[in-house]
């Protein structure tokens, strides 16, 4: 399956520059997710791949073929639109058969292909219903069926789950993964919801508000090793602490307001200098909270519990450190053994390993 | 119709709101119509039924007049449709949001102007020493009189009735989601196929409303043809006016009114079927 390469893409609407010299490589045959906050230009990228927008500068490649100026109806790319954009004057069958009919295929071929797709998406019982009578989940199936029936090289998803409720969303995500496995088509999935992206993607890219791509990688790489403050904040929850780098022998520490000292493991290939301003990120679930003193951790700090938020599978503690920083800590509510009770205003210790601290580019 | 009446009497509230409109409709449309029908059949008020008035209007020349009115209405409706559709499409779906209301205002401006003012404005444009003739003379063409020609009659009819077509078309096209058009293109349809298979079926109500609005109103039109094309062209309107106001032969006039109305209703049904068929056919492009 062919991948997509965006090269030096620039796009502006009037004086508003949406994308400036953007480069992105989307690997073929993979589930690729592009995430970013609303209005960052991710939909514009999608529309360029679909052919609904033409970049002011730069090129779009499908495989090795430059498709920048290929009209939208001649591209082997199909889109599942936000809110699906099903044709309201047609029934389910006509919607699905639409792309075959405009290609003037014989009725027999159309019948065969539509039946195959209908079986795949379990739409048999709704075949002749008007699309307006369908539920959100069913409409979405029709939208996907309509897009895959052409066997496109690339399938684009523009926030396809935005209109579904949470439970259905989780179910559809798993179905999408299965579908991608089954078809092997390149999927490009656009969302502002990081959990969706983490769930489905083989590869993902994070865009910031300025329309630049901050980081590309597997969901695990992005979650565990965010490169910038923006990525760390956007994907998941994280504690970001600012300070000054100090060196004691071989080891590096972050000095925060001359009050706290946090041990850091500087990854190989990264140059740091003493007295340099720096930013670190530490995920709340990688922090242990306890009222008793424990050994074996490279970082130990103490603080006072300010608030406790019960979230079902975990409990969130907000701990005020010596310098006033509010540290978030997640504790799994596994309840295998009886645990110590932590209450408001308790003095607690928080522990974490320096391997879990991520050094961030501060932008 | 029956349904409407049922709805009216279903609740006190709807009756209360509908009553003025209903009273208006009955006293100024149904009752006069009934009166016209009895005029065409009876020599005295609701007495002595006869067919002699109909025998008098069943003449080729009368059918020619009806046919001429139908032709006028058809040409006007089709030419308005062909021009109004792209205009309404552009305003509703392509123009930037902030321009939309201004463009619509400009498009329906003739509608807000008095009919006679419009017609006399056309006099200045079309007359022997008017704008068009001067220009044509300047480039070396001499086409003679533009006034008193079929062409200028259709031109003015087209101009006067255009807003009646644009308004309903705009209101249906405006409801079309641009995503549907994009989805169609994305699925491999050409622009032409997209118009035929998606935009047209979704705006067919507007097309029908606009077409019949123009067709119905221009069928009875006689002011514009007689002012622009001269008195020699007889249309249904002229003939009825003549029977009622000049000849004072109300019975024959009423018979002719009934006859032309019947032909007219049949023609509307015909156009309805034709339009449905056309849209069906276009959807298979």
First to last CA, chain A: 37
Q: Beta partners for A60?
A: A6
Task: With beta carbons under 8 A apart, name residues in chain A contacting B198.
Answer: 87, 89
Give the integer Cα–Cα distance in Å for B131 and B125.
5
Highest mean pLDDT among B23-32, B43-52, B114-123: B23-32
What angle (nearest 5°) sits at the alpha carbon of residue A161, between those of residues A9 and A329?
A: 90
Task: With beta carbons under 8 A apart, name residues in chain B contacting A99.
Answer: 187-189
Q: What is the pLDDT of residues A45-60, one digit of tens each?
A: 999 999 999 999 999 9
Beta-carbon separation of A72 and B197 below 8 A: no
Residue range(s) defining the domain that contains residue B35: 1-50
Beta-carbon separation of A72 and B184 below 8 A: no
In the structure encoding, which two tokens stand for residue A88, read together?
């309201």
Higher per-residue pLDDT: B209 or B2: B209
CB atoms within 10 A of CB A285: 16
Strands A57-62 and A4-13: antiparallel
CB atoms within 10 A of CB A319: 25
Strands A239-248 and A277-282: antiparallel
Q: Examine the domain organization and report whether B38 and B173 are in the same domain.
A: no
Q: Examine the domain organization and report whether B273 and B149 are in the same domain.
A: yes
Q: For the domain A239-360, what is the CATH code?
A: 2.40.50.140
Q: Which among B185, B188, B198 is the nearest to A87, CB-wise? A: B198
Give the integer Cα–Cα distance in Å for A324 and A316.
18
Is the predicted pLDDT of residue A363 greater than 60, yes or no?
Answer: no
| Site from B176, B177, B180, B183 to mutate, A interface, most A CB atoms within 10 angstroms | B183
| Across A210-239, average pLDDT | 92
Q: What is the pLDDT of residues A348-357, one digit of tens each?
A: 999 999 989 9
Residue A341: alpha-carbon gap to chain centroid: 36
CA distances from B161 to A67, B93, B200, B267 (A): 46, 23, 21, 19
Contacts of A212 (CB under 8 A, 6+ apart): A20, A22
Confidence of residue B5 (pLDDT cuts 50, 70, 90): low
CB B219 within 8 A of CB B263: no
Stated as kind and residue range, the H or E segment containing A17 is: strand A16-26
Query: How many separate domains does chain B show?
Result: 2
Contacts of B135 (CB under 8 A, 6+ apart): none
Total residues belonging to chain A: 363
Per DSSP, the three-state class of B264 is helix
A52 contacts chain B (CB < 8 A): yes
Q: Which among A82, A89, A102 is the nearest to B187, CB-wise? A: A102
Nearest-neighbour CA in chain B from A102: distance (Å): 6
pLDDT of the residue at A362: 66
Confidence of residue B53 (pLDDT cuts 50, 70, 90): confident
Give the integer Cα–Cα distance in Å for A260 and A119.
62
Which residue's structure tokens are 């509307």?
B268
Highest mean pLDDT among A13-27, B118-132, B227-241: A13-27
Q: Which among A82, A85, A102 is the nearest to B188, CB-wise? A: A102
Q: What is the pLDDT of residues A320-335, one digit of tens each?
A: 998 889 999 999 988 8
What is the spatial order of strands in the sheet that A251-256 belongs to? A260-264, A251-256, A239-248, A277-282, A358-360
Q: Examine the domain organization and report whether B27 and B62 are in the same domain.
A: no
Higher per-residue pLDDT: B229 or A164: A164
Strands A326-332 and A251-256: unpaired
Nearest residue on chain A to B177, judged by CA atoms? A85
Per DSSP, the three-state class of A7 is strand
Q: Examine the domain organization and report whether B36 and B118 are in the same domain.
A: no
The domain boundary, picked from B31, B50, B69, lies at: B50
In the structure encoding, which two tokens stand for residue A125, read together?
């019982």
| Across A21-46, average pLDDT | 93
Give the integer Cα–Cα distance in Å for B184 and A45.
19
Confidence of residue B108 (pLDDT cuts 50, 70, 90): confident
| Across B269-273, average pLDDT | 94
Beta-carbon separation of B185 and A102 below 8 A: no
Confidence of residue A218 (pLDDT cuts 50, 70, 90): very high
Task: With beta carbons under 8 A apart, name residues in chain B contacting A83.
Answer: 179
Nearest-neighbour CA in chain B from A100: distance (Å): 9
Q: Examine the domain organization and report whether B68 and B129 are in the same domain.
A: yes
Contacts of B11 (CB under 8 A, 6+ apart): none
Nearest residue on chain B to A78, judged by CA atoms? B186
pLDDT of the residue at B195: 93
Q: What is the pLDDT of residues A87-108, one digit of tens each?
A: 999 999 999 999 999 998 999 9
Any idea which architecture A4-234 has in CATH?
3-Layer(aba) Sandwich (3.40)
Q: Examine the domain organization and report whether B271 and B180 are in the same domain.
A: yes
Q: What is the pLDDT of residues A233-268, one digit of tens each?
A: 999 899 999 999 998 888 889 999 888 889 988 888
CB atoms within 10 A of CB B132: 14
pLDDT of the residue at B206: 93
Q: What is the pLDDT of residues A110-162, one digit of tens each?
A: 999 999 999 988 888 888 999 999 998 899 999 999 999 989 999 999 998 88
Q: Examine the domain organization and report whether B253 and B276 are in the same domain.
A: yes
What angle (nearest 5°) sits at the alpha carbon of residue A220, between those of residues A219 and A222?
A: 65
Using alpha carbons, select from A291, A293, A247, A295 the residue that is nearest to residue A273.
A247
Task: With beta carbons under 8 A apart, name residues in chain A contacting B283.
Answer: none
What angle (nearest 5°) sits at the alpha carbon of residue B233, between those of residues B209 and B257?
A: 55
Kindly report the average pLDDT of chain B as a whole number.
Answer: 87
pTM of the model: 0.84
| Across A276-288, average pLDDT | 92
Task: With beta carbons under 8 A apart, name residues in chain A contacting B177.
Answer: 85
Confidence of residue B229 (pLDDT cuts 50, 70, 90): confident
Nearest-neighbour CA in chain B from A358: distance (Å): 42
In CATH, what number is assigned to the domain containing residue B250? 1.10.3720.10
CA distances from A15 to A12, A19, A59, B148 (A): 7, 12, 21, 54
Using alpha carbons, select from A328, A325, A326 the residue that is nearest to residue A317.
A328
Per DSSP, the three-state class of B160 is helix
Q: Which among B186, B189, B193 is the nearest to A79, CB-wise? A: B186
Q: Examine the domain organization and report whether B122 and B217 are in the same domain.
A: yes
What is the predicted ipTM?
0.86
Beta-carbon separation of B184 and A88 below 8 A: no
Encode A20-54: b = buried (16+ Cβ within 10 Å), e = exposed. eebebebbbbbbbbbbbeeebbbbbbbbbbbbbbe
Q: Examine the domain organization and report whether B137 and B6 are in the same domain.
A: no
pLDDT of the residue at B225: 83
Q: Examine the domain organization and report whether B64 and B22 are in the same domain.
A: no
CB A186 within 8 A of CB A30: yes
Give the integer Cα–Cα distance in Å for B76 and B158.
5
Using alpha carbons, select from A129, A54, A50 the residue that is nearest to residue A95.
A129
Per-domain residue ranges of chain A: 4-234, 239-360
Give the integer Cα–Cα distance in Å for A188 and A26.
8
CB B211 within 8 A of CB B203: no
Using alpha carbons, select from A28, A33, A70 the residue that is nearest to residue A49.
A70
Q: Examine the domain organization and report whether B85 and B111 are in the same domain.
A: yes
Give the integer Cα–Cα distance in Å for A301 and A321.
8
Q: What is the pLDDT of residues A155-185, one digit of tens each?
A: 999 998 888 888 888 888 999 999 999 999 9
Helices B131-138 and B115-126, interaxial angle, to 10°?
20
Q: Examine the domain organization and report whether B71 and B41 are in the same domain.
A: no
Is the predicted pLDDT of residue B90 greater than 90, yes or no?
Answer: yes
């Amino acid at each position: 399956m062919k991948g997509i390469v965006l090269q030096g893409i620039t796009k502006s609407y009037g004086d508003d520059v949406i994308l400036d010299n953007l480069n992105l490589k989307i690997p073929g045959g993979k589930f690729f997710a592009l995430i970013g906050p609303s209005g960052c230009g991710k939909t514009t990228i999608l529309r360029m791949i679909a052919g609904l927008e033409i970049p002011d500068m730069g090129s779009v490649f499908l495989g090795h073929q430059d498709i920048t100026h290929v009209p939208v109806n001649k591209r082997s790319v199909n889109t599942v639109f936000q809110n699906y954009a099903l044709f309201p004057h047609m029934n389910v069958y006509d919607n699905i058969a639409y792309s075959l009919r405009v290609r003037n295929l014989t009725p027999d071929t159309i019948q065969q292909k539509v039946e195959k797709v209908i079986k795949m998406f379990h739409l048999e019982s709704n075949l002749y219903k008007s699309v307006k009578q369908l539920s959100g989940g069913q409409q979405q199936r029709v939208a996907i069926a309509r897009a895959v029936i052409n066997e496109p090289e690339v399938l684009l998803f523009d926030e396809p789950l935005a209109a579904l409720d949470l439970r259905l969303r989780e179910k559809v995500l798993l179905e999408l993964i299965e579908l991608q496995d089954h078809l092997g088509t390149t999927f490009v999935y656009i969302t502002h919801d990081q959990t969706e992206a983490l769930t489905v993607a083989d590869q993902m890219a994070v865009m910031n508000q300025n329309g630049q791509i901050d980081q590309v990688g597997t969901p695990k790489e992005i979650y565990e090793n965010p490169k910038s403050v923006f990525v760390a904040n956007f994907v998941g929850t994280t504690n970001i602490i600012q300070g000054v780098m100090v060196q004691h022998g071989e080891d590096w520490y972050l000095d925060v307001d001359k009050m706290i000292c946090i041990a850091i493991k500087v990854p190989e290939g990264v140059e740091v200098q003493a007295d340099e301003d720096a930013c670190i990120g530490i995920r709340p679930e990688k922090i242990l909270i306890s009222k008793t003193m424990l050994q074996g951790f490279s970082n130990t700090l103490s603080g006072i519990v300010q608030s406790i938020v019960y979230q079902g599978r975990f409990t969130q503690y907000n701990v005020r450190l010596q310098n006033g920083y509010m540290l978030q800590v997640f504790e799994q509510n596994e309840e295998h053994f009886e645990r110590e009770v932590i209450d408001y205003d308790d003095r607690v210790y928080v522990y974490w390993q320096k391997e879990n601290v991520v050094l961030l580019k501060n932008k | 119709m029956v349904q409407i009446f049922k709805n009216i009497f279903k609740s006190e509230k709807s009756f209360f709101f509908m009553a003025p409109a209903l009273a208006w409709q009955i006293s100024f449309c149904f009752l006069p119509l009934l009166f016209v029908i009895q005029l065409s059949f009876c020599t005295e008020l609701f007495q002595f039924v006869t067919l002699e008035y109909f025998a008098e209007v069943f003449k080729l020349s009368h059918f020619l007049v009806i046919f001429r009115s139908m032709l006028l209405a058809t040409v006007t409706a089709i030419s308005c449709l062909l021009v109004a559709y792209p205009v309404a499409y552009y305003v509703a779906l392509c123009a930037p949001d902030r321009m939309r209301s201004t463009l619509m205002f400009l498009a329906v401006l003739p509608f807000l102007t008095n009919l006679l003012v419009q017609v006399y404005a056309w006099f200045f444009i079309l007359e022997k020493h008017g704008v068009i003739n001067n220009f044509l003379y300047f480039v070396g063409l001499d086409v003679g009189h533009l006034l008193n020609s079929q062409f200028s009659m259709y031109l003015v009819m087209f101009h006067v009735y255009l807003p009646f077509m644009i308004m309903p078309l705009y209101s249906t096209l405006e409801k079309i989601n641009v995503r549907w058009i994009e989805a169609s293109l994305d699925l491999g349809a050409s622009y032409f196929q997209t118009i035929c298979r998606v935009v047209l079926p979704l705006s067919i109500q507007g097309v029908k409303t606009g077409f019949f609005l123009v067709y119905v109103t221009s069928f009875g039109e006689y002011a514009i043809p007689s002012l622009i094309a001269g008195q020699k062209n007889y249309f249904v309107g002229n003939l009825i006016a003549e029977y009622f106001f000049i000849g004072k032969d109300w019975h024959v006039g009423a018979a002719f009114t009934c006859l032309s109305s019947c032909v007219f209703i049949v023609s509307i049904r015909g156009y309805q079927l034709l339009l449905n068929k056309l849209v069906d056919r276009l959807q298979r492009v």
